[in-house]
Amino acid sequence: MAPEAPVTATLPAPIYGAWMMHTEGRMPRRKSYEAKIDFLQILDENGKLDARLAKDTLTDEQVVASYEQMWICREYDETAFKLQRSGRMGTYPQNKGQEAAAIGSALAMKKGADWLVPCYRENAALFMHGLPMHYILLHWMGDERGNQVPEGVNQTPISIPIGTHMLHATGIAWAMKLRGDEDSAVITYFGDGATSEGDFHGAMNFASTLQVPCVFMCQNNQWAISVPRSEQMRSPTVAQKAIAYEMPTIQVDGNDIFAVYKAVKDARDRAVDGGGPSFIEAVTYRLGDHTTADDARRYRDQAELDSWLEKDPIIRIRKYLESKDLWSEKDQKKLGERAKKIVAEVVKTAEGIEDPTTDDIFNYTFAGLCDELETQRETLRTNSLGQFPEQAGLRGRAERV
């Protein structure tokens, strides 16, 4: 059979012209993705509260207690600074100026069920979730027992390497999901500089892909040691980095305890309901030096520091409490005295701890010791000759000497 003739058609001139434009590369453009970053503030630097946004957040009692905790932690911070300057402690990073981010987030997480994976400027949050206050001092005094988080306190030790602990947070959250924990989540804290590290992106990608119950809390204090945020990244916000991982993200006033609480509470609720991870950028400021080994006057303008001193979370929350007749000078005096007494007792405990033994190297590293490790602990030797010197007649020689 002869092949059938091909079917042909002639397009009208206007349609044909449009079709030719399309095939010549003039294709219609469309948006493949669009996003926005919301900013949340509920309590401004003058202590003025947006009652509508504050609904179902913090009670008056919680705000008073939070202010007291802020003041105690500020006293703790100043005392730690003096301990370092007097040679009684090693390098110390002050938390001054970032207390609202720590306390607001700690209030939103569930003590005993959730895990905190900190950096090193979240002292207040760690204390609120059960860490004895002298442990932080022990850490910076070089005593390894400061990293031995007590049983039942759901925290990892503070992390000095920048960004590495976020991977641990993702792993803990993944374990929660695999076990089917229904009312548990993880929050991990880090600075703006950590988001320039590869470990941050690895943690974010795994958390998003596996949809784990983890809250990523960036304390954007504007400085990565001496490098300003504007010089370490081109993005106008840190929060937008989460968009690449299809992760719910928000920017909040990090010196506003109400805004921090609400953002973290929403993120935790979403996590335990199976909604996966969230990212929060808490815009705050490091009022002190990076650590006591740093001098921020060499790279930071005094005018910038002065402008942020006016936004101090302690001053802000006190203005709010006074405006509601929930705080007075009498209350302040009593709090000041109590804070000094508490911190003095903490310092006494840290400095009065008994000397460690070499057994700690083993007892706090392994859950249980096999025979070989038992021998190593007793002899402090890892080779057979060191453990059993009689093999070469060394024991008798040592005794004669």
Is 234 assigned a catalytic role?
Answer: no
Tokens 């442990």, residue located: 135
The token pair that represents 299 in the structure block: 């790279």
Single out the catalytic residue among 16, 26, 297, 299.
299
Give the pairing of strands 115-117 and 186-191. parallel
Report the interhelical angle of 313-323 vs 60-85 (nearest 10°).
Answer: 150
Cα–Cα separations (whole angstroms), residue 164 to 56, 118, 119: 35, 11, 9
Phi, psi for residue 220 in degrees, rounded to 5? -80, 90
Is 377 assigned a catalytic role?
Answer: no
Find how far residue 4's CA is from the centre of its chain: 73
Handedness of CA 172, 178, 179, 184 (dihedral sign): positive
Please enumerate, as own/partner, the contacts of 146-151 that have beta carbons within 8 Å and a separation of 24 or more. Answer: 148/364
The token pair that represents 314 in the structure block: 């302690």
Q: How far apart are CA 70 and CA 73, in angstroms?
A: 5
Single out the catalytic residue among 268, 290, 316, 318.
290
Considering only CA atoms, which of 158, 198, 35 is closest in space to residue 206? Answer: 198
Report the interhelical angle of 165-179 vs 198-210 (nearest 10°).
Answer: 10
Characterize 336-356 residue by residue with b for buried, 16 or more Cβ atoms within 10 angstroms of its Cβ, and e for exposed.
eeebeeebeebbeebeeeeee
Is 299 assigned a catalytic role?
Answer: yes
Single out the catalytic residue among 286, 316, 318, 320.
286
Cross-strand bridge partners of residue 116: 155, 187
Cα dihedral 287, 284, 161, 227, rounded to 10, equals -70
The token pair that represents 12 in the structure block: 């009208």
The token pair that represents 297 in the structure block: 């006057």
Please list the active-site residues: 286, 290, 299
